[in-house]
Structure 1
Amino acid sequence: MSRARRGLTIGVATLTLGVIASTLTSANAAKEPTSTPVPISTPEGQVSSYVVNAKKPTAKGTADARAVVKRAGGTVVQQWPQIGVIVVHSTHADFRSDVYRLGRKTVASVGATRTVAVSERTDAPTARRKAQGVVKEEFANTAEEFVQPDPREGEQWDMAHIKADHAHEKTDGSRKVLVGVLDSGIDPDHPDLAANIDVKRSVNCTDAGTVDRSPTGWFPTTSDHGTHVAGTIGADRNGIGITGVAPNVRMASVKVVNDDGFIYPEYAICGFMWAGLHGMDVTNNSYYIDPFEYWCGDQPDQAAAMEAVRRAVSWSTKKGTFHVAAAGNSGTDLSNNTTNDTSPNDSTPIERTINSGCKDIPTELDGVATVSSYARIGTSNETQLSYFSNRGLNVIDVAAPGSAILSTIVAGNGYGLKSGTSMASPHVAGVAALMKSEHPGWGPAKLLAQLKAQADDRPCAAQQPIGPGGAPCTGTARNNSYAGEGMVDALDAVK
């Protein structure tokens, strides 16, 4: 999971707005302390980025909100009429208050998406160039009765642990299944990945949240994180290097991480909407959305941005896309989280009080599979919760290997070890892709239910306390704070 931090500073915040009620705030929020306010300064003349949520998530509702945006001095950068969300830039200091004043009947909420000025190019042409490249033709299942291993497959303890090697005796996945890798880009010429990249459905979302179809826009630039994630999901079975969980499915590179390592809300919204619009079956999301590790429903800007992301996730889920996300690397109990000192990470972090209405997004949004990370114990096939992994009773859905994972990297088109819940999540995305290959009629809700039902139990009694202060595992053998409903099982997914 990406945790970008930058030492930029901003001036004294000038915005004062009343608290906006959020649908994501828990029913018990009134009994909890208010989260610490983080007012965001938008001085006159600075290009600032916002999301505006229409009251009616329709084309007409979006058009009405767009008219308000223009009257308030904003420039529409990207609009998503399917969900009533508009990405806006403005140099007007009072843009938010003017939108509320002018849009009482048409605007539900408006919020700044970052605590610093917009830095990326904002003059992108309206007519995008069509991405070049040829999508591989659909082939029948390539798995043979006796699977021939790739050269470094023996080093992939993680694949054996989730029984992916046995699952491959039945299937390597279907070419009809498409997995969106929402990340920092995928190395386009890595020999273990190139054949499985769907170029036509790859996109760059980091140009202010717009849809950039340029031929190289989705390539990795400053990070190989997405390349490593992609290898775990779908490294090709080709006699080279390693093998992914689902080595015959297609993958689309959906770039949502900018060159400074940030994933702002407008980038993620673009990624989720692109996935839903282009028929992606599964997405992997190994990040939290910046600049807040936890977005609080009782804070105006944070509530508006969280609602915009929620709408994008919900809409794409209804379109048939199943979303998988990393639980996070803070060693935190997400079910009982009261403080945070890492946000905002694009300027100066502060010590914050948070409450149950503060969410790590996208992983804590409804319908998203939340994945914790496990580490191998010595050289055995036994595992334990990774020391860095977030946890939480009734928050974690399933677990997967996430420590010392061998996968593809950009340097030298090679291979390297990485650790994090970022590395656990793609195992689950890969298993979901195998499951979708075998059961093409299953939608997101069915996939999530079956992933949990088929997971191998990790009872608390067999696990040592992990995390700050040795926080113990809580819950039952079938559902607990460490592993959720258990270790994901690739073999059961294809039975």
Structure 2
Amino acid sequence: MPTSSRLTRFGLALTAAGTLVVPALLASAVPASAGASEGPSTTVPVVAPEGRTMSYVVNVAKVNHGQMQKAERAVAAAGGTVVQRYEEIGVLVVQSTRSSFLPTLRAGAKGTIESAGPTRTVPVSEAPGAGVGRPVPPGHRKLATFEGMYTGSPSAPAAGLDPMEPDQWNNRLIKADKAHEITDGDRKVTVAIVDSGIEPNHPDLQENIVPALSVNCTMGGVPQPTGWEATTSSHGTHVAGTVAAARNGAGIVGVAPAVKLASVKVVNGDGMIYPEYALCGIMWTAKKQIPVANHSYFVDPFQFWCGDQPDQAPVLEAMRRAYAFADRRGVVSAAAAGNSAYDLAHKTTDEESPNDSTPVTRTVNTTCHDIPTELPGVVTVSAIDAESNLASFSNYGEGVIDVAAPGRRILSTYQGQRWANLSGTSMASPHVAGVLALLKGTHPDATPAQLVSLLKTQADDHACPAGDARCTGTADDNAFYGEGVVDALDAVRR
């Protein structure tokens, strides 16, 4: 199988003794992947070491205050400590140093706890002042492919254009340049860049960042008001520029250059996005009612989280609950499909997981999902090049891909107050987030479902290439392009 695709790449899940019945709620809430293996997925057993702090998610059976209190008492009795609680969705983030914690909790809290499982295979390392880690080089773990710093010397652009705007083929392809003749977007709209942080003093971004809406989630999944800035990775800064680099006479222009940005940091200093970070990120976005969110990553440590595995199903369910809550709070999410050239509609094997220890070759089946991109309601985005061909690295899949957007050699903002070209579905998804932001400005009262419907309806149909058997479906909805290439111009037409 080709190399894996998400922003981060490490992770396993701890397996402890004891059994867990996968809740029917999970099986019905997360659609199965048509065409995937129908046999059981491969179990990945991992033991929690005694005396080392490990992290878990706990899902209560009924979402109410009394049930949460019972669950917290059960956690304490089993030797765990609650570090973050989400009463709105009935989820706890828990840490414990006891190797017996998980089987003890499962055995002693039946009827109160629906499911509980580990979030990583390695001990928790973050502590106050930690989390900087090693620099994450461009392209590390396939978060994107670095294509070079911007070194051009653009001639004087036409009146009203920023210096590098003529080099942005991507904006012209989705007709963002034509949309800007009507509007640059609504300043009341904010987009959450759920990623590795944003460089706060970048000349193309600083005027659009809202510090009060920004957060750092990499300290065990507990939201912190400081530390949301980019540190070891330029990924989030690049994504942010594609969405909303300002029209200010410097550098480039984003798809929606007038909208605001919130830096929601979920990538730790080593490039990992554990479930507790991702939960913190989407729940922060939901509670702050930030209307649009971009997610250019997969949740570590599994490329695919399997609902038939007792140690993986709890994370899948917790994430499903969180995104459903975000939808109810008015948040519409776009997510990258991944860079493995993998057919997400026909999953068979995974050679990349777990990615925080030793990966194993495992069978995956219809219960296994790439999260967040395959969660209900999330817009799944494939990547195309300047000729509108599916990028060679892009994941695809009939019934999985919703829309397509540019993702090959995208010029955008980069750390060090610079600009660079990157490739990946991570670069395609923020184009869609930008179009959703334009749509939100045009239709301020629209629900997330209505915005997604408009996005798909307005997308420009693109038929499958002749002779490519991987691309199944019709001219207006297929495995490569979903319902088409997003259209920024239609988004601003009332």
Relative to the length of structure 1, the TM-score reads 0.89
CA contact (8 A) 2:58 2:93 kept: yes
2:410 corresponding residue in structure 1: 405
1:204 to 212, 216, 221: 216
Which runs of no fewer than 5 residues in structure 1 stay unpaired? 125-145, 377-381, 466-470
Is 1:421 the counterpart of 2:425? The answer is: yes
CA contact (8 A) 1:40 1:112 kept: no
CA contact (8 A) 2:12 2:121 kept: no
2:169 corresponding residue in structure 1: 157
**Structure 1 pair 211/387, CA: closer, same or farther in 2 (3 Å)?**
same
1:176 corresponding residue in structure 2: 188
SS of the equivalent of 1:425 reads helix
Is 1:386 the counterpart of 2:391? The answer is: yes
1:51 to 41, 57, 77: 57
1:491 corresponding residue in structure 2: 489
What's the Cα RMSD here?
2.1
CA contact (8 A) 2:197 2:228 kept: yes
Where in structure 2 are the equivalents of 1:300-339 lying within 5 Å?
300-339=310-349
Separation (CA, whole Å) in 2 of partners of 1:58 and 1:409 = 44
2:478 to 467, 477, 480: 480
Is 1:365 the counterpart of 2:375? The answer is: yes
Separation (CA, whole Å) in 2 of partners of 1:338 and 1:31 = 5
Deviates more, 1:104-113 or 1:12-21: 12-21
Residue 429 of structure 1, CA deviation? 0.1
2:144 corresponding residue in structure 1: none
CA contact (8 A) 1:22 1:297 kept: no
CA contact (8 A) 2:16 2:103 kept: no
Is 1:37 the counterpart of 2:37? The answer is: no
CA contact (8 A) 1:22 1:298 kept: no
Q: Number of aligned pairs?
A: 458
CA contact (8 A) 1:15 1:40 kept: no
**Structure 1 pair 252/13, CA: closer, same or farther in 2 (3 Å)?**
closer
SS of the equivalent of 1:314 reads helix
1:285 corresponding residue in structure 2: 295
Separation (CA, whole Å) in 1 of partners of 2:453 and 2:282 = 21
2:112 corresponding residue in structure 1: 106
Separation (CA, whole Å) in 2 of partners of 1:230 and 1:106 = 41
Relative to the length of structure 2, the TM-score reads 0.89
**Structure 1 pair 492/31, CA: closer, same or farther in 2 (3 Å)?**
closer
Separation (CA, whole Å) in 2 of partners of 1:238 and 1:110 = 49
Separation (CA, whole Å) in 2 of partners of 1:19 and 1:105 = 12
Separation (CA, whole Å) in 2 of partners of 1:408 and 1:113 = 32
Residue 101 of structure 1, CA deviation? 1.8
Question: Which of the pair has the greater relative contact order for Cα pairs under 8 Å at 6+ separation?
Answer: 2
Is 1:267 the counterpart of 2:269? The answer is: no
**Structure 1 pair 285/337, CA: closer, same or farther in 2 (3 Å)?**
same
Separation (CA, whole Å) in 2 of partners of 1:111 and 1:44 = 17
2:133 corresponding residue in structure 1: none
2:358 corresponding residue in structure 1: 348
Separation (CA, whole Å) in 1 of partners of 2:36 and 2:397 = 22
2:400 to 385, 395, 400: 395
State the AA in 2 paired with 1:407.
Answer: S
CA deviation profile, 1:101-120 (whole Å, cap 9, x unmatched): 22112101000000111111
Residue 383 of structure 1, CA deviation? 1.6
Where in structure 2 are the equivalents of 1:76-155 lying within 5 Å?
76-121=82-127, 148-155=160-167
SS of the equivalent of 2:207 reads helix
Separation (CA, whole Å) in 1 of partners of 2:467 and 2:323 = 35
Is 1:258 the counterpart of 2:258? The answer is: no
Separation (CA, whole Å) in 2 of partners of 1:222 and 1:441 = 38
Is 1:430 the counterpart of 2:426? The answer is: no
State the AA in 1 paired with 2:189.
Answer: V
Separation (CA, whole Å) in 2 of partners of 1:227 and 1:440 = 26
Is 1:449 the counterpart of 2:461? The answer is: no
Separation (CA, whole Å) in 1 of partners of 2:405 and 2:309 = 34
State the AA in 1 paired with 2:19.
Answer: L
Separation (CA, whole Å) in 1 of partners of 2:26 and 2:182 = 42
